[in-house]
Chain A
Amino acid sequence: MRLVVFLFGILHAVIAYAEDSPFLAEIPISLSKQESSFADSQTLQLIYRSYDDEASQSLFKELSEGLSANLDSVGLRLVLEKEATMKSQPLERHTKSSFVIDLEEASTQTFLTGFRARQKDTDETLLDQIAAYASSYIESPTYIHSFLIASKVASDKTGDCTEYAVLTTAIARDLGLPSRYLIGLVILEEEGVIKAFGHAWSEVWHKDTWNIVDGALHELDREKIYYLPTSELENEGPGYLMSVMRAVRYFPKKLDKVTLR
């Protein structure tokens, strides 16, 4: 069975959205009659159709703690607000260096030093500065990489949303702000078309609440994006791939009856 295990690296491609259209990351979506534009809407309702009942049950348990979720015979019904985050409190591990967010490595330190130098010269909010710096740091956006750790992204300056998210998580932790690596979906409006993609971003604990920091989509209008966090990368050790696999398992077959309110 190890031969299959060798192939797990492929699955990262499901979580890949970064302002382009990757093959595996796009999620089929069907809309109800649209009553308002993304920018005018306050909430987004949808039915989350999983690949199997077990994934629906597990996801419902996770989401019901933070989001408005209801599991019935039709499926997993969700109501998303703008900037939706998972609600659990920060933990000690959200402040520490890890195998994935390896703050002590030389290349990561060089990257962080660059952020500190830039921080002095701008009027942006701190969280915007984090996203903007990560966004500008990646010189070669591409979907070809598997999940890269912070020191590798810092040295190679390449990747997609999974790589932007390790950078934003690293900056926040270096500043002493608890931060966690989130995997889930984004539902967004682009030139009047609504699409959904697998995605990764950071949540940063700032001013007594979790805040979304998204380096990959920093240039997009946040009013036109709904975030649906489905899984945190809880295992940031050498076995981090198990956490990535867990997140991929939760990814839906389809988002149905998407309605803006």
Chain B
Amino acid sequence: MKFYLSIIALLLLSNQALAIDYINATDFPEWFQKSLKTETKIKKKSQLKIDALKVNSKVLGKAKLAESGDGYLYYTIEFGSDSPAECYVLSSFDGRANSLYSILDGATQDIAEAHEKALTGKFNFAQNAGIIGSIPYLSLDLLYHLGEGQEKLTGLLKGYSAQLGDTLQVCVHNEVGNRASFFSIFESFLKALNTQPFEKPFFEIVYQTSVNGIPAGIALESYKKDKDGDVEINYETAVLMPVDAFSMASSDTAAKSWSTPEGDLINANSYSVENAILSFSYSLNYENETWIAEGESQGKEQRFELSHKGPLPSQYGSYFISSDFLKSDAKETNLTMWMPEIDPSSAVTTKLRKISNNKEVNVEFDLGVINMKTQLDKHGVASLVKMQQGPVEIQLHAVHQEGKP
């Protein structure tokens, strides 16, 4: 399995073949098709130095700090194409998906203004999600039209985003061609910035998320121990979901929780940003032998006392429960957790069932109306998660794993 995962990672690293193109290039004029295939051999490198982030590395192309302000650095990178790549380092952002879409959306307006033409059309052209090394990224290309009739202009705005610690890196490129060359520029920029001394987790896993075959997003978990042995757990997801030919729903979620070494939840925080607006934000704490969930949903403040009494397993603890279940003779077991994305007001019980005679999946997670099938290893770690809910099929494939729970 590990070899197979490495192959996937290599594919994602070495080419863009897995990206989904929504628009058939053969429907476009010859010049567009020809431009789309254009690539540039990038020969030059330049020094990228950012003292605040302790970055001092070579990057592909000629990088120049064009602008900086509160919470952002803005670079242009010339690499021999007609237009430079533009890269942002953001210390204040909404998330991989929301910030990428916001920047692309804003950039199409800026391009229209620069050409003194109206933005007359904007379409989802292509998207992808994958990893560079162990760093998950999202990509999105938007096709745009400016003006009408004989004066109409068509362009392609390509974008990538990836997070490193507390900064988000977003690169955009306004040119029909140089798709692979621009990816190389982004990859180089990201690797140059990945020199910060991040604390290494003892276990991390990254998934590529697909929805009906569309590589729509990424999901990751990481686990670190403090000096007392308590475990800090971080989950993050980023999804760009095309909802029609023109629009993209963007969603970023993040959760941070603490667990005892034995796997009991100490406290938890979770939030979600949808289409650049905070969708929900909750914290869970244990006070006077009662679990209290506080926060807001869709701008409305909420406070709930959970009816569940006593310890709750953390995500870290859920690995122990899954692992013990796999080792046991039991055919099914229950897992009760607080999952504010489903219901912030109560703990939700999931039934785990073993699946026999199936090479692809070995455990089913049943939440009543929702059913997921997974391939778990002996530590309870999923390499594959599949969920078919009516016409929607969600799959998570592990594309990077380091350590174990």
Find chain B residues with CB under 8 A from A2 CB: 235, 255, 315, 337, 339, 341
Kindly identify which residue among A145, A151, A237 contacts B275, using a CB–CB cutoff of 8 Å: A145
Q: Tell me if B's interface is mostly helix, strand, loop or mixed.
A: strand
Q: Is B100 an interface residue (CB 8 A)?
A: no
Find chain B residues with CB under 8 A from A16 CB: 243
Q: Which 9 A-B pairs have the closest CB atoms?
A: A239-B343, A251-B390, A143-B243, A246-B369, A144-B249, A3-B219, A152-B298, A238-B345, A6-B237
Find chain B residues with CB under 8 A from A13 CB: 241, 243, 249, 392
Q: Is A127 an interface residue (CB 8 A)?
A: no
- Interface contacts beyond A6-B237, A6-B341, A238-B343: sample of 11 additional A-B pairs, CB < 8 Å, sorted by A: A8-B341, A9-B341, A14-B391, A144-B275, A152-B299, A238-B304, A238-B345, A239-B346, A241-B342, A245-B369, A251-B391
Interface 0/1 of A2-19, CB less than 8 Å to B:
111111111101101000
Interface 0/1 of B360-387, CB less than 8 Å to A:
0000010111101010000000100101
Q: Check A237 against B235 for contact (C-beta < 8 Å).
A: no
Interface 0/1 of B315-349, CB less than 8 Å to A:
10010000000000000000001010111111000
Q: Check B365 against A1 for contact (C-beta < 8 Å).
A: yes
Kindly identify which residue among B318, B367, B389 contacts A248, using a CB–CB cutoff of 8 Å: B389
Q: Is A232 an interface residue (CB 8 A)?
A: no
Q: How large is the interface on B (under 10, 10 to 19, 20 to 34, 35 or more residues)?
A: 35 or more
Q: Is B193 an interface residue (CB 8 A)?
A: no
Can you spell out 25 A-B residue pairs with CB atoms less than 8 angstroms apart?
A: A1-B365, A3-B207, A3-B237, A3-B385, A5-B341, A5-B342, A6-B255, A9-B272, A20-B244, A22-B244, A23-B242, A24-B212, A51-B390, A51-B391, A105-B300, A146-B274, A149-B297, A152-B298, A155-B299, A238-B302, A238-B343, A238-B344, A239-B346, A248-B390, A250-B390
Find chain B residues with CB under 8 A from A51 CB: 388, 390-391
Q: Is A42 an interface residue (CB 8 A)?
A: no
With A149-B298, A238-B344, A241-B343 known as contacts, the answer to whether A6 contacts B243 (CB < 8 A) is no
Q: Is A118 an interface residue (CB 8 A)?
A: no
Q: Check A239 against B342 for contact (C-beta < 8 Å).
A: yes
Closest chain-A Cβ to B158's Cβ sits at a distance in Å of 21
Query: Quick one: which of B243, B342, B392 has the most chain A CB within 10 A?
Result: B243
Find chain A residues with CB under 8 A from B343 CB: 237-239, 241-242
Closest chain-B Cβ to A16's Cβ sits at a distance in Å of 7
Q: Is A142 an interface residue (CB 8 A)?
A: yes
Q: Is A249 an interface residue (CB 8 A)?
A: yes
Q: Is B251 an interface residue (CB 8 A)?
A: yes
A22 to B246, CA, bound (A): 10
Q: How large is the interface on A (under 10, 10 to 19, 20 to 34, 35 or more residues)?
A: 35 or more
Q: Is A21 an interface residue (CB 8 A)?
A: yes
Q: Check B341 against A1 for contact (C-beta < 8 Å).
A: no
Which residue of the partner chain B has the closest CB to A12? B249
Kindly identify which residue among A21, A27, A143, A242 contacts B342, using a CB–CB cutoff of 8 Å: A242
Closest chain-A Cβ to B149's Cβ sits at a distance in Å of 25
Closest chain-B Cβ to A233's Cβ sits at a distance in Å of 12
With A143-B244, A249-B389 known as contacts, the answer to whether A1 contacts B297 (CB < 8 A) is no
Find chain A residues with CB under 8 A from B367 CB: 242
Q: Check A11 against B392 for contact (C-beta < 8 Å).
A: yes
Find chain B residues with CB under 8 A from A241 CB: 341-343
With A145-B274, A155-B299, A251-B391 known as contacts, the answer to whether A10 contacts B241 (CB < 8 A) is yes
Interface 0/1 of A241-257, CB less than 8 Å to B:
11001101111110000
Q: Is A148 an interface residue (CB 8 A)?
A: yes
Find chain A residues with CB under 8 A from B255 CB: 2, 6
With A2-B315, A22-B243, A242-B343 known as contacts, the answer to whether A10 contacts B251 (CB < 8 A) is yes
Closest chain-A Cβ to B398's Cβ sits at a distance in Å of 11
Find chain A residues with CB under 8 A from B318 CB: 1
Kindly identify which residue among B217, B298, B299, B385 contacts A1, using a CB–CB cutoff of 8 Å: B385
Find chain B residues with CB under 8 A from A145 CB: 249, 274-275
Find chain A residues with CB under 8 A from B341 CB: 2, 5-6, 8-9, 241
Q: Check A239 against B345 for contact (C-beta < 8 Å).
A: yes
A248 to B255, CA, bound (A): 26
With A105-B300, A245-B370, A249-B369 known as contacts, the answer to whether A7 contacts B243 (CB < 8 A) is no
Closest chain-A Cβ to B344's Cβ sits at a distance in Å of 5
A237 to B297, CA, bound (A): 12
Closest chain-B Cβ to A137's Cβ sits at a distance in Å of 17
List residues 139-191 of chain A with CB under 8 A from any CB of chain B: 142-146, 148-149, 151-152, 155
